[in-house]
Amino acid sequence: MDFTFTNEQIAFRDSVSRFLMSEVAPDTLREIWETDGGRSPELRRMMAAQGLTVLAVPEAEGGLGLGDIDWALMTQELGYYAIPDSLADAAYVGAGLLAGLPGDNAVRATWLPRIADGSCRIAVGHPVNPWVADAALADLLLLAHPVQNGIELHALTRDAVEVIPQASIDGSRRLAQVRWDPCSASRVADGQTGRALWEEALDRGAVNVAGQLVGLAQRMVDISVDYVAQRKQFGKPIGSFQAVKHHLADVVTKIEFARPVLYQAAYALAHGGTHRALLASHAKLACADAAWNAARKGIQVHGAMGYTWEVDLQMYAKRAWALDAAWGDRAFHKDRLAGALLGESAPLGPLASFNNNMDS
């Protein structure tokens, strides 16, 4: 497997990074957190103008038709800057769900072009998530309805559901319990077809969150390195103390081990790998562990003041803690790993590590 990104992919990632660096500085992030909606319509318009909403939309509906590997780079940038927006939920996970519908489906034909031009918000309610992100702000909600032969996919507008807000430790994460009544008019995929769509959405959602967690981990370690280089004790920067170096080196090691796992999962998603679910769960666990450690060690080297509102670190730590349970908590993904690794068809044995079927 080749994890070397093309020059075009790297250039696009760098352009996204420069854009978010200028538009989502920590002070801007604080201001958006303190608004009632936790969102900036102007930021969403600018992201659409930069082409960030068209990536996963098929070319037939006005998009670029890019895939999971491109998004593995994109989501890291969204995490690094902790963007106060559910862009990836709509333009990646939601767009993927709609793109899985037949080409002549009316819901697909109506909403994919709107995702591409940035004129709508999509909320995705998967059974693994107890609350739906951005449900109160969404123009369209894609919701799951378990039935005897699978899981149906339903599409409803905001006025067709009841939304009960739920507080989050992340000031820009808008969660809600959604109450609704499934009917034939809202159903866009039956139980059997919907099951496949929702299973892919789960893996895509997990990889989406994993990418953001790696980006958050990198941002927190960067913030911590800057702090320990400036903070002095006994006349020396505390970053020169060996114990502090060890804390941050541990975080960097976890990030470096998590990134290849993320890329392997994205590769399996893009190529329909037979062990896609296993790799997606592995990515979520590895990236969540990196972000969790970055937050804990970052707060520790800040002398616990990293919890306070005045320090930038706390915003990225809170986002990491919130995303840790999104699209399946650790228990859920460990159970999926156990089922894959301990089952009768588990890829175990001396030759399994070199078996290319893991990714095909």
The pLDDT value recorded for residue 339 is 84
Residue 127 burial (CB count, 10 A)? 12
- Enumerate the H helices of the chain as residue ranges: 7-23, 26-33, 41-49, 68-80, 87-88, 95-99, 106-117, 191-230, 242-270, 276-301, 313-324, 330-342
Residue 58 burial (CB count, 10 A)? 16
Mean pLDDT by 10 residues, the chain (360 residues): 81 93 91 88 92 92 91 96 92 95 94 94 94 94 95 96 93 92 95 95 97 97 85 66 79 95 95 90 97 93 82 94 95 91 72 54
For residue 72, tell me if it sits in a domain.
Answer: no
For residue 318, tell me if it sits in a domain.
Answer: yes
Cα(290)–Cα(213) distance, integer angstroms: 8
For residue 254, tell me if it sits in a domain.
Answer: yes
- Can you tell me whether residue 237 is helix, strand or coil? strand
User: Tokens for 245?
Assistant: 């170096």
For residue 332, tell me if it sits in a domain.
Answer: yes
Q: Residue 308 sits in which domain range?
A: 194-341
For residue 81, tell me if it sits in a domain.
Answer: no
Count of domains in the chain? Answer: 1
Taking each helix axis from N to C end, the angle separating 191-230 and 276-301, rounded to the nearest 10 degrees, works out to 20
CATH of the domain at 206: 1.20.140.10
For residue 47, tell me if it sits in a domain.
Answer: no
For residue 268, tell me if it sits in a domain.
Answer: yes
For residue 352, tell me if it sits in a domain.
Answer: no
The pLDDT value recorded for residue 241 is 65
User: Tokens for 29?
Assistant: 């992030």
The pLDDT value recorded for residue 360 is 45
The pLDDT value recorded for residue 22 is 92
- Total count of residues recorded for the chain: 360
- How many whole angstroms from its chain centre is CA 59? 23
